[in-house]
Chain A
Amino acid sequence: MPAGKHKSRTLRRVFVRTPGSNTVMHYRRRKPSKAECAHCKQELAGVPQVLSHKLRNMPKSSRRPERPYGGYLCSKCTRALMKEKARNLGGAEQ
């Protein structure tokens, strides 16, 4: 019987083969949810779906797109935002 803390399905189960050729069950943490756009809720490309401690050791450029609002807004929403900004700017400077 699994221990009481392992009965709930918060941890995922992984079967690992040991050097003595036995299969053992390991409990590992589940993947975090996919990063999504704050505006349109679309899944963000270029943001890895890994645990935070792994993300911390990665280089910053591989954690999110190298763009303003990268890793927060999707590219479409960023473009729309920038266009809005440009149109406001154009009116002010005329």
Chain B
Amino acid sequence: MNLFNVGRVCLKIAGRDAGRTCVIIEELDNSYVTIDGDVRRKKTNTKHLEPLAQSLDIKKGASHEDVKKAFEHLGWKTWEHQKKESAERLKKVRKMKEKKAEPKTKKALKENKASTETKAPKAEDKKAGKTAKQ
């Protein structure tokens, strides 16, 4: 009797996804099936699967979303592809460059100079005032 029919819930025994639950989506061969669920959607040998008692109402060749719905109904997780972080790091470098470029404009430099000139004499005045009071 073949237990590995479409909709059968299995536990992955071997490989990276070992110990995770999955559903058989398609029977490819006498020994090969495609699986989906809490694992990466892929072709596997049935030697790498251990059938469980449960089976789900799933059509042959069902999409990942259908499997996700069926799994969520039972309160199980599904495996989702996670994006890599390396792309985000590049963006941060670009932002830093833009910030440095801003104060180098002529207007900004002039304003900076003006602000320093106006502030400096005030400080001197205060000192002078203090000495006068004493």
Interface string of B1-25 (1 = CB under 8 A from A): 0000000001111111011000000
B53 within 8 A of A: yes
The answer to whether A67 and B11 touch across the interface, beta carbons within 8 angstroms, is no
A53 within 8 A of B: no
The number of residue pairs between A and B whose CB atoms lie closer than 8 Å in the complex comes to 44
B interface SS class: strand
A interface SS class: helix
The answer to whether B11 and A89 touch across the interface, beta carbons within 8 angstroms, is yes
Top 5 A-B pairs, shortest CB-CB distance: A86-B50, A86-B11, A90-B53, A82-B13, A90-B52
Interface residues of B (CB under 8 A from A): 10-16, 18-19, 50-54
- Other A-B contacts than A78-B13, A82-B12, 17 sampled, CB-CB below 8 A, are A67-B16, A67-B18, A68-B18, A75-B14, A79-B18, A82-B11, A82-B13, A82-B14, A83-B13, A83-B50, A85-B11, A86-B11, A90-B52, A91-B53, A93-B52, A93-B54, A94-B54
